[in-house]
Amino acid sequence: MLAPDQFQRHIYAESIEPHITEGDTLVFGHGFNIRFGYIQPPAGVDVIPVAPKAPGHTVRREFVAGRGIPDIIAVEQDASGSARDLAKSYAKAIGGTRAGVIKTTFTEETETDLFGEQAVLCGGVSHLVQAGFETLTEAGYQPEIAYFEVLHELKLIVDLMWEGGIAKQRWSVSDTAEYGDYVSGPRVVTPEVKASMKSILDDIQSGAFAKRFIDDRDNGGTEFLALREQEAAHSIEATGKTLRSHFAWKQEDSDYTEGSAALLTGHKVTHEQRRPGTKFQNFVPGRRVFSGDFVTGHFTSDRRRNSRPTISGTTIQIAVVEPSIAHSLPVFVAPSKRLTRV
């Protein structure tokens, strides 16, 4: 089960639960729905997570390059007695054992993953960078200089941490920077900040965050979309977009739209607009979209063969869902020759 957390319970209820039988195995890329009870597998089946510690496109990129992303595996149910062996073999098949595999539990994987995302890797870093940018520009410094100092150079620091921990990062920078780390870091990350982190962890462990997230998605993602729009309007985004346009050496993901946190931008997808014959312009193959997201692309199809549409021209694959659940189920888009029902 590799679909986003908010869609998994619907996919499971509609397309998996009616067909699952004793002896089957459920494999999850993240433990969210098991940990918080949105999916409750029956007895008699194995339930395991194989969780690469990176986004899917990075897992694929590293695999193709002959490397791998570290994986976390666990066993929630072991009806067969060989669930852990299957988890290890799955991790090896996607390149995880090239980098290392760690044993854990669904609870530990889910709670630590959510905490890392919210308090440090995404929420913490993003808002720290924004606050630093605002502090410099409000003091009269050029936004371009502020961007380089608080965002662009972050990659250099993170790469050093990735190679040898915080110690190697401190070893690599100047004595001035290292001393500033020691005396000024605690002024930014105060005991009050750590207390806030503990509160974030409490919300994760209690299920309060999961409920807020799922309730919002069931309500059309109104809070999520409003926050995304608000953050996209931050001045650091416009500054960065202009600067990055001058970088000759920048790396690009073919399915990323510059300046947008959304999967795609352009045309809003609805159930009706996903019917065969719908056309979207300038489509780049290999992307994934969801009902309600904005997309650019184009596909054509016909129904001449047993009502299973084939595709011609500049083509993609789109999963068709029933109108009653179109707001909550994913639409997978990838280079293909056939429309597939999920």
Task: State the first-to-last Cα distance of the chain, in angstroms, to the nearest integer.
Answer: 12
Give the Cβ contact number of residue 270 at 10 Å: 14
- To which H or E segment does residue 235 belong? helix 235-244
30 is catalytic: yes
- Paired tokens of 170: 């401190």
* Residue from 19, 30, 152, 298 carrying the catalytic annotation: 30
Residue 289 pairs in a beta bridge with: 331
Containing H/E element for 10? helix 5-11
Q: Give the pair of three-digit tokens for residue 3.
A: 């679909």
Q: What is the DSSP letter of 119?
A: I
CA dist 299 to 120, 162, 283, 320, Å? 40, 41, 8, 14
Helix or strand (DSSP H, E) at 166: helix 154-172
Task: Kindly report the number of other CB atoms within 10 A of residue 37's CB atom.
Answer: 10
Catalytic residues: 30
